Amino acid sequence: MIWNIVLTFVVLPIGWWANQIASEVKRLNILLNMTRENYIKREEHAGELGRVVDHLVRLEGKIDKLAEK
């Protein structure tokens, strides 16, 4: 009887701890997958940056034409 009580008080906290660790690993895995979905690839970023630079160059040209008048 005493041995069963000792085993219960030893095994129960270890099982609870293992369950908490497993749930935390699952949560971190979900968060990691979400961050992978939110980031863009380097090539996509370069393409978007190129479009922004092209628009800025066009705006600069228009501003220069207005300044000459």
As a whole number, mean pLDDT of residues 26-30 equals 95
Distance, in Å, from the CA atom of 65 to the CA atom of 69, rounded to the nearest integer, reads 7
Identify whether residues 33 and 50 lie together within a single domain.
no
Percent above pLDDT 70 for the chain: 99
Count the domains in the chain. Answer: 2
Q: What is the pLDDT of residue 69?
A: 83
The DSSP secondary structure of 6-69, one letter per residue, reads: HHHHHHHHHHHHHHHHHHHHHHHHHHHHHHHHHSPPHHHHHHHHHHHHHHHHHHHHHHHHHHH-
Query: Which residue segment(s) compose the domain that 55 sits in?
Result: 41-69
Identify whether residues 18 and 47 lie together within a single domain.
no
Write out the two tokens for 69: 């008048």
Model-wide pTM > 0.75: no
DSSP code of residue 1: -
